[in-house]
Amino acid sequence: MRNVLVSGATRGLGLAIARGLAEQGYHVCGASRKRSEGFDALAEAFPGQVLHIAADLSDMGGLRDVVVEAKSVGGPIYGLVNNAGLGTDGLLSNMHASQIEALISLNVTAPIMLAKYAVRSMMTSGEGRIINMSSIIATTGYSGLSVYGATKSAMIGFTKSLAREVGRLGVTVNAIAPGFVDTDLTEGLGAEGRDQVVRRAALRRLAEPVDVAQMTCFLMGEGGRNITGAVMTVDAGATA
């Protein structure tokens, strides 16, 4: 069974991704600080196939151990989904330095370090898939999300160069750029802001976690074998 490490697999997009991958027959190691009811239900539905790794991914010193643990419970890493992220908003001039650091540490440093350790396992196997969660904000911009936007643009730059670096080893590296999706991360936007996103979207609705999960499964599977260095937008036409 191919082993996939999914960061932030206990809620929102990550939980949908973990479910989608488990249904496709992957072994899933879901990393986050704590378990959730949704994740426990998934692990119960897929005994021995979906496992939790407890880790604070903003602690750089522990990132190698996360990959080591994923390998020890599920074998060589076939896939890495760098999904965990913070969505802290605020006017830049008012943001505390610690908030800026926290965003950069979880949204940029952690995915880069996890990829660094996971790619070693992929190099040995001669195959692998890395999927980095970006956002449409990386390219559209949004007032109050300058630091978040910077971290999500960083994921695109990282994706493109790493794809060039590891392509000859049989490893693909892609980014997914979701539009607004209802999760804990976006609850701060409020009903009015949410309605505005719906009105402006070509399809007049929001993308859902399952849409991002299906894109992840596609890139992870046979259909994604010749796609690398790409950014796949899943936004119900918000940026069409």
Ligand X SMILES: NC(=O)c1ccc[n+]([C@@H]2O[C@H](COP(=O)([O-])OP(=O)(O)OC[C@H]3O[C@@H](n4cnc5c(N)ncnc54)[C@H](OP(=O)(O)O)[C@@H]3O)[C@@H](O)[C@H]2O)c1
* Residues annotated as catalytic (active site), given as ranges: 148
**Inter-residue contact 177 to 231 (CB < 8 Å):** yes
Smallest distance, ligand X to C-beta of residue 182, A: 7
User: In the complex with ligand X, which residue's Cβ is closer, 65 or 184?
Assistant: 184
Smallest distance, ligand X to C-beta of residue 169, A: 26
User: In the complex with ligand X, which residue's Cβ is closer, 17 or 162?
Assistant: 17
User: In the complex with ligand X, which residue's Cβ is closer, 123 or 212?
Assistant: 212
Q: Which residues bind ligand X (CB under 6 A)?
A: 8-14, 32-34, 55-58, 83-85, 87, 106, 133, 135, 178, 180-181, 183-186
Smallest distance, ligand X to C-beta of residue 109, A: 11
Smallest distance, ligand X to C-beta of residue 236, A: 11
Contacts of 117 (CB under 8 A, 6+ apart): 63, 64, 66, 67, 68
Which residues lie across from 176 on neighbouring strands? 133, 232
User: In the complex with ligand X, which residue's Cβ is closer, 52 or 71?
Assistant: 52
